[in-house]
Amino acid sequence: MKKIVFTFALVVAVCVGAAMSISAREHRFDFRTIIFPDDTFTQTLGINDFDTIAGYHGAAVNKGFVFASPNNFTLENFPNSAQTQVIGINNRGYTDGFYIDAAGINHGFLDINGSFTTVDFPGTTLNQLLGLNNLEQAAGYYADAAGIDHPYIFNNKGGAFSVITIQRVDLRFLHRWRREESWFSDL
């Protein structure tokens, strides 16, 4: 009987501790609306451990920014670009993203201490960097001549690209299976 009571008390203690832990995590988030001044479109895409946010604004022409609370926007646009989207930011405040040049070509970029660098996978004309870690490794992708996207990691410290190969999977069987199981219906 003592073992059952002890086991029950232990289970209750673990459940209460887990509930308190979950409750504590739920309260650490603070939601707020961020709107670039005098604009109708603002999108935030990256955040670092210091709550500095990367994003862009502009319904017609995208312009990049970095945002710090309470309401400090710093413009960040690749020099002479037609459009810029700042997407990732690391803890050093370095950013990445992509810009569109005057010819309409997408290029990835890094901004390290105000020094902009184009990052394009060799021989391609569509590149975007989508995130940057604290080791100055940026995740991105390029589109090949057939329009197929390929993910890569760019290591800024060595200037090297590492292409990530993802095996193709035929998902048609899943569509048929879901339809047969009534999980999916064609409209």
Q: Please write the tens of the pLDDT for every residue from 46-56.
A: 999 999 999 99
Listed in order, strand segments (DSSP E) in 63-182 are: 63-68, 72-75, 83-89, 95-100, 106-112, 115-119, 127-132, 137-143, 149-155, 160-163
Q: For the whole model, what pTM was predicted?
A: 0.74
Higher pLDDT, residue 54 or 169? 54
Say whether pLDDT at 58 is over 50.
yes
Confidence of residue 26 (pLDDT cuts 50, 70, 90): low
Please give the single-letter amino acid code of residue 81.
S
- What's the CATH class of domain 42-163? mainly beta
Confidence of residue 30 (pLDDT cuts 50, 70, 90): confident
User: How far apart are the C-alpha atoms of 125 and 185, rounded to whole Å?
Assistant: 39
